[in-house]
Chain A
Amino acid sequence: MASADVEDVPQKDVSYPRKLIYCGECTMPLEFCEFHPNYEKCKKWLEKNLPDQFDALMRLSEDDPTAGGEGEKKKQKRGGRGMIKTRKKTGPQKVTIARMQRNKRKYVTVVRGLSTFDIDLKVASKHFANRFATGSSVTGDDEIVIQGDVTYDIIDVVQDKWAEIEDEMIEDLGDQKR
């Protein structure tokens, strides 16, 4: 463990580039998994993919009281920030609908959050374009803009196409400003 301290100079018994394993779940070096909100998922990944590492880790956390449980208490000491965000993939699943005014009497309908359901945005956009016979495009990381005001029908169209999006997972935000 102390090896990295003196690694300002190359180590004789180490060959470079050093190889290290990153967690398939949180993508970090394995030793940082314990700080990830989805540590349990990390552990599952580890158990499945690298059983030896998993056993070693379990033994380590038994020997070392600071690795694991106690860290949980420590985090309170320094105030509220420091919550590590999970990537969108694992975030809450929610779709929102909003209407935005584009011109005096022209609107667009903005749909966000479809990718939290692992929906391909391009496919979704095309579906909307066909369904409403209008223009639709993917405009952001998780945003689709449909030309015209289709808020009256969009929730039904979304739920018809993707039944897994239940009523409480979709929300109409009403009119929004850009």
Chain B
Amino acid sequence: MFKKFDEKEHVSGMTPLKSSVQKAMKNKIIQMYPNIEPYITQIMPKKEGLKVVKCHDHIELFAVGNELIFFRQRESPYYPCLRLLHKYPMILPKQRVDRGAIRFILSGANIMCPGLTSPGATLIPAEQDSVVAIMAEGKEHALAIGVMKMSSTDIQTINKGIGVENVHYLNDGLWHVKL
């Protein structure tokens, strides 16, 4: 989503979000990521308004102050930004890829099944279309955020093709957006 994203070309403007919309978004996020609930007022303080940054291709970035916290494309779910996930790792369930997959993911590639099923990897049960953090063998912090393209069971049995779509990774266009 952000492989070719360049803030200078693709960001068109920032507007405050209506409080009713904000509330709805907050509820949706808690519903999707229940583990976030104890921290939601830390992350999205009532006092400070949420802003939306509209970008090309119907991408929307959501910010508190000058910090990006969530993003989505069209009617996709709200995805947490990596820096937010680093602060609150409990938000997402974690798939762990083997060491060999790291450099591919960092160059924007989707996560192929073998990278999730090899000995260095850890595949936890997850449904198709669910949002997951991409961790890596021997590493503590997430390097990407992905969407399951197959269920974990299918990844295990089919074991080829794209297992998880890479929606946001370290050093991609979103990572470098500064508000």
Contact = CB atoms under 8 A, between A and B. Distances in A.
A81 B90 contact: no
- Chain A interface mostly: loop
A5 B94 contact: yes
Contacts of A7: 89-90, 94
A28 B170 contact: yes
A17 B87 contact: yes
Specify the main secondary structure of chain B where it touches its partner.
Answer: mixed
B153 interface: no
A4 B138 contact: no
B49 to A, nearest CB: 20
Contacts of B89: 4, 7, 18
Interface in B83-134: 86-90, 93-94, 96, 99-100, 102-104, 106-107, 109, 122
Interface string A16-53: 11111000001111011001000000000000000000
A78 B42 contact: no
Contact of A27 (B6, B88, B122, B175): B175
Contacts of B96: 5
A81 B104 contact: yes
B140 A85 contact: no
Nearest to A79: B104
A122 interface: no
Interface in B21-42: 35, 38-39, 42
Nearest to A66: B99
A141 B65 CA distance: 25
Contacts of A77: 100
Interface stretch (A67-75, A103-111, A159-167): A67-75
Contact residues on B (Cβ < 8 Å of other chain), bracket: 35 or more
A82 B141 contact: no
Contact of A17 (B8, B88, B102, B138): B88
B9 interface: yes
A82 B94 contact: no
A56 interface: no
B90 A87 contact: no
Given A7-B90, A141-B9, A83 B170 contact: no
Contact of B107 (A8, A29, A83): A83
B55 to A, nearest CB: 15
Given A5-B122, A18-B86, A32 B170 contact: yes
Interface of B: 6, 8-9, 35, 38-39, 42, 86-90, 93-94, 96, 99-100, 102-104, 106-107, 109, 122, 135, 138-143, 170-171, 175-176
- The 4 A-B residue pairs with the shortest CB-CB distance in the complex, in nearest-first order: A17-B87, A82-B104, A7-B89, A29-B141
30 contacts: A1-B139, A1-B140, A5-B94, A7-B89, A7-B94, A8-B35, A10-B35, A10-B38, A16-B42, A16-B87, A16-B88, A17-B39, A18-B87, A18-B88, A19-B87, A20-B141, A27-B171, A27-B176, A28-B171, A29-B140, A32-B170, A35-B103, A66-B138, A67-B138, A75-B100, A75-B103, A82-B107, A85-B107, A87-B176, A140-B8
